[in-house]
């Protein structure tokens, strides 16, 4: 897929990126209620990201805007002495759409293209309004924790596709934002497609592209389940797969746990309304990242397990009491 990419710009970073984090749509929005943020989860996720990104204990909000229903702006300029540092570890945040955008995209068929149809063109506008609304709220939630977050909407940042594969992306802009000490916040978005006119570019595909070109130390997917299971996690006897190895040819094998019946293909659930693919896309994108030699962790958001993996504690040997899935390149 990457061979199609028409990128003339080399990206150089003075220090490698530590981590690319996916905030899964299901983890930060209420999947069954249209355009509703899971405020509680988002707050915990933002706090965990602050703890792992910023050394300072001091939390000073960088969101100086009015909150809905209030008339005050809180901005304590005195807090920003020279002592205060919010030098952040180099992270990139990418979020999904959850209950934002999917309704608009699936109603209009934006993912299938055809911009000459009024409904598709309308859906393109409506989808972008919905996903940028969510992006702004996530940027604000991170900023309230003192994280210097900067919204970088893929459509605006030059991301486009060709036959639904990535054709262009302004990676130097992402690198420049990181070098300047900001945390870029990207998201699944409606974009132009050279062949079919337009499509939906999923957050998972964005992450794979960023990982391939910016080579982070590790990638974390924060989701609403503990990891990848051998069958839909709602079913009885579903087993959490703790370690998966990906071989050269792209096939996977389960390293942990070692069960007899693990030869059968791992079953996965795809929610019918998920226009960009559910676990199927996630696992196959994760496998492609792992093949690059970058460890991928899939973990439940806003838990002690997500905090441990974000902070890097789980790297190397996975502790027995850690719940989540690691996807790694096969060492054979």
Q: Report the C-alpha gap between 170 and 239 in whole angstroms.
A: 40
Q: List, in sequence order, the alpha helices (H) in 196-255.
A: 203-214
- Within residues 68-87, the interface with a second copy by CB under 8 A covers 68, 71, 73, 75, 77, 80-82, 84-86
Q: Report the C-alpha gap between 303 and 300 in whole angstroms.
A: 6
> By the 8 A CB rule, do 60 and 80 touch?
yes
Helix axes 279-291, 203-214, angle to 10 degrees: 0
Coil/strand/helix, residue 141: helix
Q: Which is nearer to a second copy, 155 or 297 (CB)?
A: 155
Interface with a second copy (CB under 8 A), residue from 29, 46, 132, 161: 132
Coil/strand/helix, residue 163: coil
Least Å from the CB of residue 116 to a second copy: 9
Interface with a second copy (CB under 8 A), residue from 43, 170, 217, 243: 170
145 makes contact with a second copy (CB under 8 A)? no
Q: List, in sequence order, the alpha helices (H) in the chain.
A: 25-28, 39-53, 102-108, 118-144, 171-179, 203-214, 279-291, 304-310
- Within residues 88-127, the interface with a second copy by CB under 8 A covers 103-104, 107-108, 115, 117-119, 121-126
12 makes contact with a second copy (CB under 8 A)? no
H or E element: which one contains 244?
A: strand 243-246
- Binding mask 16-55 vs a second copy (x if CB under 8 A, - otherwise)? ------------------xx--------------------
Least Å from the CB of residue 45 to a second copy: 18
Interface with a second copy (CB under 8 A), residue from 44, 51, 59, 65: 65
> By the 8 A CB rule, do 120 and 110 touch?
yes
Residues making contact with a second copy (CB under 8 A): 34-35, 60, 62-66, 68, 71, 73, 75, 77, 80-82, 84-86, 103-104, 107-108, 115, 117-119, 121-126, 128-130, 132-133, 136, 139-140, 143, 148-153, 155-158, 170, 173, 176, 180-182, 192, 197
């Amino acid at each position: 897929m990457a061979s199609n990419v028409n990128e003339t710009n080399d990206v150089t970073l003075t220090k490698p990126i530590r981590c690319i984090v996916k905030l899964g749509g299901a983890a930060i929005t209420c999947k069954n209620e249209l355009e509703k943020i899971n405020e509680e989860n988002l707050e915990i996720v933002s706090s965990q990201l602050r703890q792992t990104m910023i050394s300072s204990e001091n939390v000073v909000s960088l969101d100086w805007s009015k909150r809905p229903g209030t008339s005050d702006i809180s901005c304590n300029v005195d807090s920003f002495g020279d002592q205060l540092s919010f030098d952040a570890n180099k992270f990139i945040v990418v979020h999904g759409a959850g209950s934002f955008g999917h309704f608009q995209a699936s109603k209009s068929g934006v993912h299938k293209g055809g911009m000459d149809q009024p409904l598709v063109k309308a859906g393109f506008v409506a989808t972008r309004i919905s996903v940028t609304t969510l992006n702004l709220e996530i940027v604000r939630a991170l900023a309230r924790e003192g994280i210097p977050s900067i919204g970088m909407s893929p459509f605006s940042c030059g991301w486009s596709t060709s036959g639904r594969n990535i054709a262009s992306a302004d990676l130097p802009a992402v690198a420049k934002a990181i070098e300047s000490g900001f945390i870029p916040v990207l998201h699944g978005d409606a974009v132009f497609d050279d062949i079919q006119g337009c499509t939906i570019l999923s957050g998972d595909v964005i992450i794979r592209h960023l990982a391939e070109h910016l080579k982070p130390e590790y990638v974390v997917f924060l989701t609403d389940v503990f990891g990848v299971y051998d069958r839909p996690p709602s079913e009885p006897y579903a087993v959490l797969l703790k370690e998966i190895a990906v071989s050269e040819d792209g096939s996977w094998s389960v390293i942990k746990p070692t069960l007899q019946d693990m030869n059968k293909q791992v079953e996965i659930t795809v929610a019918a309304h998920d226009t960009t693919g559910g676990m199927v896309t996630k696992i196959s994108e994760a496998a492609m990242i792992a093949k690059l030699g970058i460890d991928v962790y899939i973990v439940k958001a806003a838990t002690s397990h997500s905090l441990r993996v974000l902070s890097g504690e789980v790297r190397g040997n996975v502790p027995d009491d850690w719940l989540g899935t690691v996807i790694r390149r096969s060492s054979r």
